[in-house]
Amino acid sequence: MGGKASTHGDVYSYGILLLEMFTGKSPTDSMFMDGLSLYQFVKMALPDRVMEITDPQLLSEEVPVVNNTNNENHSTMRPRMHECMVSMYRIGVSCCAKSPRHRMQMDDVVRELHVIIDLYLGRGIYRDMQTGMPDLHEGSSYLSNY
């Protein structure tokens, strides 16, 4: 908007891209009128209603992909999928913070994405957990602030 180009703008764009990809909605969608934006739409859904705002085409692929990878059934994958979606949306929202200096740094984004991948695929520290879902937002995670 007439200012200098910066990495903060790139981070914002990446956040919007994530929100678009997972909701299947464009920021220019007709539902985003009267002050409602894609950013606000997602932020209001966090954390309990993320599955409601997620593009149904993404959710329809959930079970076959996971069953081929880990031989898990739908009932054990649903909580894991929900936790991953919450984390993805939180990354998108934090990248779109109004103040550029409050936006997530891309090295933190990459680190969080690796944690999400490991959780979804049941790799790493999450592989041997038998009860409960790990909370990606506890401990030293950047997203613990959101």
- Give the start-to-end residue ranges of the domains of the chain: 7-145
| Residue 140: pLDDT over 90 | no
Average of pLDDT values for 37-60? 93
Q: How far apart are CA 142 and CA 54, in angstroms?
A: 23
- pTM for the model stands at 0.75
Task: Please list, in sequence order, all residues whose beta carbon lies within 8 angstroms of the beta carbon of residue 137, skipping any fewer than 6 positions away.
Answer: 87, 90, 143, 144, 146
Q: What angle do CA 139, 141, 145 make, to 5 degrees?
A: 90
In this predicted model, what pLDDT tens digit does every residue of 2-23 receive, in sequence order?
A: 566 667 789 999 999 999 999 9
The more confidently predicted of residues 100 and 130 is: 100
**Two tokens at 28?**
């220019």
pLDDT value at position 68? 45
| Residue 60: pLDDT over 90 | no
Task: Please list, in sequence order, all residues whose beta carbon lies within 8 angstroms of the beta carbon of residue 102, skipping any fewer than 6 positions away.
Answer: 94
| Residue 134: pLDDT over 60 | no
pLDDT band at 111, cuts 50/70/90?
very high
| Mean of per-residue pLDDT scores for the chain | 79
